[in-house]
Amino acid sequence: MKTLIHALKLVLAFALIGLAAGCASTSNVNQDLAIAAGFRVIKPVNPEQVSLLNSLPPGQVTQINHDGKIYYVLPDAANGQALIGGPNEYQTFQQMRLARQISNNNLAAAQMNQMNAMNWGMWGGWGAWGPGPGW
């Protein structure tokens, strides 16, 4: 019975984490990480650039070849700008995203371990020390 309660707590915790992650805006986080990785902010100056910016998938980094060089573009069509970086900036961006994900997973695991360490079950945490049989 105790393992069933722990399993249910674990499933509930993952469901809450998934819900919170789904509600959070990842585009702002991606933009912050891209800027920290060295991406530059540019604004389109002609209609061709504006149409290219609007055609890119929002919130996703897209690889573009221009004049024989590889660039990575994160569009921000709402603000009429894009974040541009090269292969080194993109690699740094990917490493920062992975580090952020690992950090979030570690935080969730620590919170679940803390809850289990306190032995707070589904019906309260007093166990043998609180009101109940023997009082």
- Over residues 28-49, the pLDDT tens digits come to 888 999 999 999 999 999 999 8
Q: What is the pTM of this model?
A: 0.62
Give 99-122 pLDDT, tens digit per residue. Answer: 999 988 888 888 887 777 666 555
Task: Report pLDDT digits (tens) over 44-100.
Answer: 999 998 888 889 998 899 999 989 999 999 999 888 899 999 999 999 999 999 999
CB 86, CB 72: distance < 8 Å: yes
Please tell me the distance from the alpha carbon of residue 75 to that of residue 1, in angstroms, as a whole number. 51
| Dihedral sign (CA 105, 116, 118, 5) | positive
Structure tokens at 129: 């020390």
pLDDT exceeds 70 at position 128: no
**31 C-beta neighbours (distance < 10 Å), count:** 19
Give the per-residue pLDDT at 118.
66
Secondary structure, 3-state, the chain: CHHHHHHHHHHHHHHHHHHHHHHCCHHHHHHHHHHHHCCEEECCCCHHHHHHHHHCCCCCCEEEEECCEEEEEEEEHHHCEEEEECHHHHHHHHHHHHHHHHHHHHHHHHHHHHHHHCCCECCECCHHHCCCCCC
Contacts of 87 (CB under 8 A, 6+ apart): 70, 72
